Amino acid sequence: MATAELAVSQSLMHKSPVRKLAVFFEQSRDRWKAKYRRVKTECRAAREQVRAVEKSRQQWAERAAQAERQILELGEEVGELQKKAGV
């Protein structure tokens, strides 16, 4: 009895036939699900990209620090050699 009343109340709310509404709602649901899958894939790709950029940035920072240490060591070595040479 409740389903019959529900069908009647829905038919009063909607002017379109139920079969057409069912198709419309199914297509709407399918579009929403496809959009969600697309957004989820894009979000995952963005997270992976961020992770790769952070890793690369860290590697470059380590290389820069190493180069600075090497520059300081070579500068000290040059200073010592100049003292020995009497320049």
Domain range summary for the chain, segments of one domain joined by +: 21-85
CA 43 to chain centre: 4
Q: Residues of the chain with pLDDT > 90: what percent?
A: 76
What are 10-46's pLDDT values in tens digits? 556 668 899 999 999 999 999 999 999 999 999 999 9
Residue 17 backbone zone (phi > 0: left; psi -120 to 50: alpha; other: beta): beta
- What one-character DSSP code corresponds to residue 87? -
- Which of the two residues, 17 and 52, has the higher pLDDT score? 52
pTM reported for the whole predicted model: 0.57
